[in-house]
Amino acid sequence: MNPFFSVHAGEYLVGSYIEQHFKRVNVWIPSRDTGVDLLVTDRQNCRTVSLQVKFSKDYLVADMAPEPIFRKELRACGWWTINRGKLRASAADFWVFVLQGFLRGTIDFAIVPPKEFWRRLRSIHGSLKNRIDSYLWVTERDHCWETRGLGHEDQVLIATGVYRNPHRDFARWLNNWGPVAQLNR
């Protein structure tokens, strides 16, 4: 076992959120990289949920701030580069995408089962290469969308709340801490 370890910003934000909102669970950090960043257990350490955490800077501030509609209607826009093999072979129960919005100081989490994330990305983008780029946006209307490959017109529809595409819709997993809440009983 290597006695020196560190957590990245996303792992810290997820762990802190869980400890603050779910007082009857334990959060564990593995001693080596196994594809699971955090392990959450019930109080007796009998039931578990494993999490792979992905963090992104907020691209809303960096790339989209000049457009008023985006500044007004979007909370955060993240970009992740994902290894296809790691996603398909993931041992984690959930992948947690941390979307930290800097304009309003918000933090949102998309908590998605990796098999479902893989299925969605395939249905959106067709056959996937080894490197997958995924853009998740969170709106002020509490919606989450996968937006990679969308044109400006569709992006504006997302910002204004009228876009519809069930394959790109990740609202079901936005801030859905249900699996951790079940351990908190």
In a domain, 154, yes or no: yes
Note down the domain range covering 110: 9-183
In a domain, 3, yes or no: no
Which residues, 6 or more positions from 29, have their beta carbon under 8 angstroms from its beta carbon? 5, 7, 11, 15, 37, 38, 39
In a domain, 155, yes or no: yes
In a domain, 4, yes or no: no
Of the ranges 1-10, 55-64, 134-143, 170-179, which one carries the lowest mean pLDDT score?
Answer: 1-10
In a domain, 32, yes or no: yes
Q: Residue 61: what pLDDT?
A: 78
Q: CA-to-CA distance for 153 and 67, rounded, in angstroms?
A: 13
**pLDDT per residue as tens digits for the range 76-124:** 999 999 999 999 999 999 999 999 998 889 999 999 999 999 999 999 9
In a domain, 160, yes or no: yes
In a domain, 83, yes or no: yes
The three-state secondary structure class of 174 is: strand
Q: Residue 143: what pLDDT?
A: 98
Domains: count for the chain: 1
In a domain, 34, yes or no: yes
CA angle 114-171-28, nearest 5°? 45
